[in-house]
């Protein structure tokens, strides 16, 4: 379920890409990405652009059935051929292509997705947050500060919870079936967001399926911190022992969750 208008997401894809391009100016494209250590910076950027282009094609062609990917599913193949200027153009053109396809389709076009909702609006939201989190990876690589608007960050965390609790995610990553068990509740609390953002979450993994909601409730373990840091921590973009968030309660419950939700 999307939180913003289709156009807001489309605009965010372009804005997040523009901010990523700014971070890349003068960067060492051969540098290892600390948060994705199997990739160089160039490979990470090609991955983002490949995601944009792949979704643009899927939306443009109104693909309504799952098509198994061929070849390099990460999309990083051929990254070594780009220099700084051509990589910048490649990134910009990919973002423009997906936004054009999404705007032309509108939010309600029937398109295959890996989520519960089989509409083009899913991909507008997904490409927004794909770009947000990989911008965080670029920032970490070049030593720049990463910040994101509180409402976008909160929606990004919502989407992550929706993805990892979806039936298809469990099929693709069976270890997600191990999330549930007695006493496994988590509370997330962003300490720096406006009240209207309602940036608190309760994750209840005590039943047969994981349930979650925006709520202020007691849990076995709570994680508190600025919204951007909370997002980075929960997305495994910050180390488990970071001092940028405060952890209160049963650390084993948190570690159990984090170890199994890493993609």
pLDDT digits (tens, 9 = 90+) for 63-96: 999 888 777 778 898 999 999 999 999 999 999 9
Residue 1, pLDDT score: 47
Token readout for 191 is 């300490």
Domains in the chain, CATH or no CATH each: 6-146 (1.20.120.450), 151-260 (3.30.1050.10)
Neighbours of 100 (CB within 10 A): 14
Per DSSP, helices labelled H in 191-250 are 227-234
Does residue 2 have a pLDDT over 90? no
Mean pLDDT of the chain: 95
Q: 25 burial class (0-12, 13-18, 19+ CB within 10 angstroms)?
A: exposed
Asked if 121 and 101 count as a contact pair (C-beta separation under 8 A), the reply is no
Asked if 148 and 157 count as a contact pair (C-beta separation under 8 A), the reply is no
Q: pTM score, two decimals? A: 0.94
Closest-CA residue to 219 (of 209, 199, 207, 205): 205
Token readout for 207 is 């039943």
Q: If you write DSSP's letter for every residue of 78-110 in order, what string do you get?
A: TGGG--HHHHHHHHHHHHHHHHHHHHHH-TT-B
């Amino acid at each position: 379920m999307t939180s913003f208008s289709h156009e807001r997401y489309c605009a965010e894809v372009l804005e997040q890409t523009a901010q990523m391009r700014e971070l890349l100016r003068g960067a060492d494209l051969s540098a290892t990405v600390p948060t994705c250590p199997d990739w160089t910076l160039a490979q990470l950027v090609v991955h983002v652009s490949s995601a944009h282009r792949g979704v643009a094609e899927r939306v443009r062609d109104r693909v309504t059935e799952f098509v198994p990917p061929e070849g390099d599913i990460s999309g990083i193949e051929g990254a070594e051929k780009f220099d700084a200027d051509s990589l910048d153009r490649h990134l910009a053109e990919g973002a423009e292509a997906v936004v054009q396809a999404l705007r032309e389709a509108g939010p309600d076009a029937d398109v295959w997705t890996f989520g519960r909702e089989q509409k083009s609006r899913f991909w507008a939201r997904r490409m927004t947050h794909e770009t947000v989190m990989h911008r965080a990876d670029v920032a970490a690589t070049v030593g720049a500060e990463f910040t994101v608007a509180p409402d976008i960050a909160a929606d990004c965390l919502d989407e992550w919870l929706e993805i990892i609790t979806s039936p298809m995610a469990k099929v693709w990553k069976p270890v997600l079936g191990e999330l549930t068990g007695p006493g496994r509740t988590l509370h997330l609390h962003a300490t720096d967001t406006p009240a209207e953002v309602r940036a608190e979450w309760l994750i209840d993994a005590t039943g047969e399926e994981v349930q979650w909601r925006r709520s202020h409730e007691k849990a076995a373990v709570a994680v508190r911190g600025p919204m951007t840091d909370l997002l980075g921590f929960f997305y495994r973009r910050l180390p488990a022992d970071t001092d940028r968030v405060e952890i209160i309660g049963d650390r084993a419950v948190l570690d159990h969750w984090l170890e199994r939700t890493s993609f």
